[in-house]
Amino acid sequence: MLQTRRAIDETVPSPTAAQTTMIEALIAGRGLARVAEIAAELAGAEVGIFVPRPGSDGSSGSAAERYVAALVAGADPERPAAVTEVVPIVSQGEIQGAVLMFGEGRDGAFDYLTAAAVASLTGVAMLNAREDAARDDAGNLLADLLAGEAVRPSDVVRRAQARGCDLTAGVSALCLDPGGPSAELVAKIAAERPDALTGVEDGRVFVLLPGSTEQARELCERLGEHGVVALSSRYREAGDARLALEEAELLLTMAKAGGLDRADTPAWDSIRILFRTFIADPDELARFSEEKVGELIRHDEQRGSELQTTFWAFQESNCNMNLTAKATYTHRHTVSNRLSRIEELTGLDPSQSYERELLSMALKAHYVIAMSRPRVK
């Protein structure tokens, strides 16, 4: 919001000519500041052009800024004592801002204020066009990140901020499968977290969240009624927003593949750790998985032997053979045979705690590699 003072020019153009000069200044990129200067020169007094941005109440500004913000909001505020003239900037019947004069101007000053108000409409239109372009750019940010586009950290911050999402202090991501139309869910997120950046890709809702992990978990709880929700770990740098999105998507994919209705149990922490390991050194994680469970994976793929299913049921039942048999709809002797076959293929005994943990970690590593988005070189 801009104020200036200029001396009175001896040769005073007509208001129409002044308005043309003001619009030319805007087109040249000199902004409303130059319009205010021209108006001050011609009116012979200090002039301010005030255009509050959407959502601003002017509370942190001057008395004049608060006054104009109240006008834009539809109120009838008391005019500040220093203001001698007010000309609203009106578009389609709605006040967008105002041109104010401070102090006594020369004769005909009001006409130049009116010219400034009309010219300012061009400035407001240009500003709105830039903001619309910035919002479109921000809306494409999620798609660019998920597509693996090379987006500089500074651009991630800038484009997110254009939509009111400040990622400078870190970022988490959510991935949700609403199981139907996503518009209601997107609206709910916007209402609860207006500082979030939300978009829909391939039927899934993706959200970039500033703030703490606790706040993100609270949102997850509230969104759980709409479908499966997966939350990434918190990344300190905005430039890691793509990794946060991919991690959340991976967790959701694994939850859905496992027939689960939630992806926030403590057991998922190991998946988060493995995902970060995969990002840091994908070749090493692949080597570990192949070395430990490569033969097991291929055996299941080629023969449909359900060894992995049996292993997970065995672990979930706390190594109880009868419960495992019940969960897999088999006899306990079948479970025993399958566990023995796992040991033959991997050299790791599922009945031994340490070796069972190695099997679990290697299988999870395989799933992380298989279900993650292809890495962009």
Say whether pLDDT at 5 is over 50: no
Q: 20 Cβ partners below 8 Å, 6+ apart? A: none
pLDDT of res. 299: 94
Task: Tell me the mean pLDDT in the region 262-266.
Answer: 62
Per-residue pLDDT of 198-253, as tens digits, reads: 888 888 889 999 988 889 888 888 888 777 888 999 999 999 999 999 999 998 88
| Rounded Cα gap, residues 212 and 108, in angstroms | 57
Classify 45 as helix, strand or coil: coil
Q: 59-94 burial string, b = 16+ CB within 10 Å, else e? A: eebeebbbbbbbbbeeeeeeebeebbbbbebeeeee
**301: Cβ contacts below 8 Å, ≥ 6 apart:** none
HSE-up of residue 28 (Cα within 13 Å, Cβ side) = 10
Q: How far apart are CA 56 and CA 64, in angstroms?
A: 14
Say whether pLDDT at 194 is over 90: no
Summary mean pLDDT of the chain: 86
pLDDT at 318 over 50: yes
Q: Is the pLDDT of residue 293 over 90?
A: yes
> Over 90: is that where the pLDDT of 189 sits?
no
Task: Check whether 340 has a pLDDT greater than 60.
Answer: yes
Residues 6+ positions from 305 with CB-CB distance below 8 Å: 299, 338, 341
Spatial separation of the C-alpha atoms in residues 275 and 367, rounded to whole Å: 10
State the SS3 of 100-135: EEECCCCCCHHHHHHHHHHHHHHHHHHHHHHHHHHH
pLDDT at position 7 is 44
> Could you give the domains of the chain?
2-127 (3.30.450), 141-257 (3.30.70), 282-371 (1.10.10.2840)
**Residue 21 pLDDT > 70, yes or no?**
yes
Token reading at 266: 């403590």
Edge-to-edge strand list for the sheet holding 2-4 = 2-4, 46-50, 94-102, 83-91
What is the rounded average pLDDT of the residues 25-30?
Answer: 87
Instruction: Give the bridge partners for 94, in sequence order.
Output: 91
Closest by alpha carbon to 50, among 109, 127, 106, 105?
Answer: 127
Percent of the chain at pLDDT exceeding 70 = 89
Neighbours of 214 (CB within 10 A): 8
Token pair, residue 139, equals: 């809306």
Given a cut of 80, whether residue 376 has pLDDT beyond it is: no
pLDDT band for position 171 (cuts 50, 70, 90):
very high
Using DSSP bridges, classify how beta strands 172-177 and 228-231 pair: parallel, antiparallel or unpaired. Answer: antiparallel
For residue 64, pLDDT over 70 is answered with yes
- Max mean pLDDT range (153-162, 216-225, 273-282, 350-359): 350-359
**Residue 58: is its pLDDT beyond 50?**
yes
Two tokens, residue 347: 């050299």
Per-residue pLDDT band for 8 (boundaries 50, 70, 90) equals very low
Q: Are 256 and 177 in contact (CB under 8 A)?
A: yes
Give dist(CA 262, CA 178) in Å, integer.
12
What is the per-residue pLDDT for 6? Answer: 44
The DSSP secondary structure of 143-195, one letter per residue, reads HHHHTT----HHHHHHHHHTTT---TT-BEEEEEE-SS--HHHHHHHHHH-TT
Are β-strands 46-50 and 94-102 bridged in parallel, bridged antiparallel, or unpaired? antiparallel
What span, in angstroms and rounded, lies between the C-alpha atoms of 70 and 66?
6
Helices (H) and strands (E) in the chain, counts: 15, 8
